[in-house]
Structure 1
Amino acid sequence: MCPPSHFEVSYSINPWMEPEKPTDTPLAIVQWDRLRALLVELGHRVDVVPPRPGLPDMVFAANAATVIGGQVLAARYRYPQRFGETPAYQAWFAEHGYPVRQARFVNEGEGDLLPTGARILAGTGFRTDHRAHAEAADHFGLPVVTLHLVDPYFYHLDTALAVLDHEEIMYYPGAFSPDSQTLLRELYPDAIRADRADAAVFGLNAVSDGKHVLLPQAAVHLTESLREAGFEPITVDLSELLKAGGAAKCCALELRDHDPHAGKAPNPS
């Protein structure tokens, strides 16, 4: 995770971003701190990447890379406003002993590449180039399922779909093309389906550890559906970060199957 110390909306690269509307950086920090504290309380280790001035979207760490089996496929951002995040995150990976491959094609990390138990679900349509899907399959040795996003308000896959536990997901059908909706129904017939109201408050931009699901508190109906499915939803207020088009999942990049602290003294940060 990366704290929103320099958070603001000074440009627009998605429909949620309106630079003319004021932002409250101290409030964004308070909300982010609460999310981080909840993850720690649930027993997860949270490593913090130092923020850099002039990179207001660096708080959205999930876009920085996809990490599976200790291997990193680093993002290649579509918009120049985010190019500076790449060296910042790659420096952290290098410092902590991760092998890093820089993506050849535009690829916005876990924004559009969401690993499940058996495959990687991969979004395209607004940010990640569809050619990046084959690149991810080659790098990680996993099958990749391409899903086409068609609603600009759900510009990344992680705004329209969340992996809950291995092969359990929740998603908003209206964010996907008809063919992709059919594919999702075939692959995940028991998936939780969100309505547009819950999707529009970024209810699907959630962090799940297989039991607990952290999601925006405004996603009322989705919260109840998660309880009915046997999960424990925990609601958080991330309204300030939503002004830039991000919520819980955008703020957290999962590091899979690698201990960056092996042989090092514990770091309480």
Structure 2
Amino acid sequence: MTRQATVRHLLMCRPHHFDVRYSINPWMEPEDGADNPLAVRQWVQLRELYKELGHKVEEIDPVEGLPDMVFAANGATVVGGKVLGARFRYPERAAEGPAYLSWFREQGWADLLDPEYVNEGEGDYLLVGDRLLAGTGFRTDPRSHAEAEAFLGVPVTPLHLVNPRFYHLDTALAVLSDTEVMYYPAAFSPESREVLERLYPDALLATDGDAEVFGLNAFSDGLNVVLPKAAERLAAELAARGFNPVGVDLSELLKAGGSVKCCTQELRDS
């Protein structure tokens, strides 16, 4: 298969205020904190890599008191120029939803929805072709699925997450192209594994080791797959399928339960 990269429009947020001050997932240990300057350096390397790959990167200003705002993927879901805002489950992150919606308004995005139900943006909503895969079980309210389907105009397929270490869909599944995904089967309920096997019979399946280094929290432009460099086995499998895996080190951000995809929101203008 001949693969081709597609230029993407991305939104990121510099981790200027990043720290681990509370614990809302199993990765977070506030007593250990985080090295903010190192987190910023690692994030800058990711941003510059996207630019080198030809992608357009915009930035939202970080807000003091919101250490997890760096995880821009959670801030909204954008499909066909429509912006479905985020509503966070935990009060520690609640102000991020309005902050991201304000950015979109200021940038001239007109078709916006402030959601009624909890959804944590592209953390739990991943677009594969014309289908939105929707994670639930830990963060996003299943009632938000109908809200997303009605507003965004694409069919939504629910997937139930069962392992708290993989609390968002983007920690357990990555979109590789309009028809291909890779995922960690043990993160999903038996029923959801059956759905994934039916929809994507040739999917790349991750091992425990791949998942534990957040190898599935990856970004693909159809050719280049940016993922944690520690996911060496997964990178080899991607290369064997004709992708160009590009490893990066976001180890400091992993202390808050995030990596490549968490830092990357895709702005689908049309």
Structure 1, unaligned runs of 5 or more: 259-269
Find the partner of 1:9 among 2, 15, 20: 20
- Structure 1 residue 140: Cα displacement: 1.2
Q: Structure 1-normalised TM-score?
A: 0.95
Check whether the contact 1:62–1:254 (CA below 8 A) recurs between aligned residues.
yes
Equivalent residue letter for 2:211: A
Check whether the contact 2:21–2:33 (CA below 8 A) recurs between aligned residues.
no
In structure 1, the partner of 2:90 is 79
Find the partner of 1:144 among 140, 149, 156: 156
* Aligned-partner SS, 1:39: helix
- Structure 1 residue 257: Cα displacement: 2.1
Distance 1:6 1:41 in 2: 26
Distance 2:33 2:157 in 1: 39
In structure 2, the partner of 1:63 is 74
In structure 2, the partner of 1:116 is 128
Check whether the contact 1:163–1:208 (CA below 8 A) recurs between aligned residues.
yes
Matched, 1:243 2:255: yes
In structure 2, the partner of 1:187 is 199
1:176-215, aligned counterparts within 5 Å? 176-215=188-227
Distance 1:22 1:138 in 2: 41
Per-residue displacement from partner, 1:86-140 (whole Å, max 9, x unpaired)? 2221111001111210111100000000011120000000000011111111111
Q: Structure 2-normalised TM-score?
A: 0.94
Per-residue displacement from partner, 1:39-59 (whole Å, max 9, x unpaired)? 000000100100011000000
Distance 2:171 2:97 in 1: 21
Relative contact order (alpha carbons < 8 A, sep ≥ 6): 1 or 2 greater? 2
Bigger mean CA deviation after superposition, 237-246 or 88-97: 88-97
Check whether the contact 1:118–1:167 (CA below 8 A) recurs between aligned residues.
no
Matched, 1:36 2:37: no
Equivalent residue letter for 1:220: E
Distance 1:142 1:45 in 2: 25
* Aligned-partner SS, 1:73: strand
Distance 1:22 1:58 in 2: 16
In structure 1, the partner of 2:244 is 232
* Aligned-partner SS, 2:58: coil
Distance 2:144 2:211 in 1: 26
Find the partner of 1:19 among 22, 27, 30: 30
Distance 2:114 2:188 in 1: 28
Distance 1:206 1:132 in 2: 24
Q: Compute the RMSD of aligned alpha carbons.
A: 0.7
Equivalent residue letter for 1:240: E
Per-residue displacement from partner, 1:45-84 (whole Å, max 9, x unpaired)? 1001000110000000000000001100000000000111
- Structure 1 residue 22: Cα displacement: 3.0
Distance 1:124 1:87 in 2: 22
Per-residue displacement from partner, 1:159-181 (whole Å, max 9, x unpaired)? 00000110100000000000100
Check whether the contact 2:76–2:97 (CA below 8 A) recurs between aligned residues.
no
In structure 2, the partner of 1:263 is none
Aligned pair count?
258
